[in-house]
Amino acid sequence: MSKLKDIITELFGKHIDSESDFIYECSTGFDEDADLIMVRRDNVSSNSNNLSSGIGILGILQIIFIVLKLVGVIDWSWWQVFIPGIIEIVLFIIVSIIIWILD
């Protein structure tokens, strides 16, 4: 690990403190070479204040409605099927406007 620290220091001109930084390899997917990426451990810490990403209740409801419409269980129009997605978009716009006003 010491040799790797010296190489990174020489390439990027930054000293890597093993207590606050760590290195991992990330493949770009476009070529065989992997890029070395320095990530602050502070930014990766599992904190209860971090927002989780993923599918929420409205997303699950949206998928259920689409499947039920495609299978023929519900006879709703497509705009009614997409109401959970429309609600998410409207909420995102409202929250964005509020944040923009308060900033």
Q: For residues 98 and 22, give the distance between their C-alpha atoms in angstroms, rounded to a whole number.
A: 37
What's the whole-number mean pLDDT along residues 44-61? 71
Q: What is the pLDDT of residue 10?
A: 66
Contact indicator for 38, 21 with CB cutoff of 8 Å:
yes
Higher pLDDT, 84 or 4: 84
Q: What is the pLDDT of residue 29?
A: 47
Positive or negative, the CA dihedral 27, 50, 38, 41 is negative
Higher pLDDT, 38 or 100: 100
- Judged against a pLDDT cut of 90, whether residue 93 lies above it is answered with yes
- Judged against a pLDDT cut of 70, whether residue 65 lies above it is answered with yes
DSSP label of 23: E
Q: Is 17 exposed, middle or buried (0-12, 13-18, 19+ CB in 10 A)?
A: exposed
pTM for the whole structure: 0.48
- Least confident window among 1-10, 49-58, 64-73, 84-93: 1-10
Q: What is the pLDDT of residue 103?
A: 85
Using alpha carbons, list the distances in angstroms from residue 61 to 4, 68, 75: 48, 10, 16
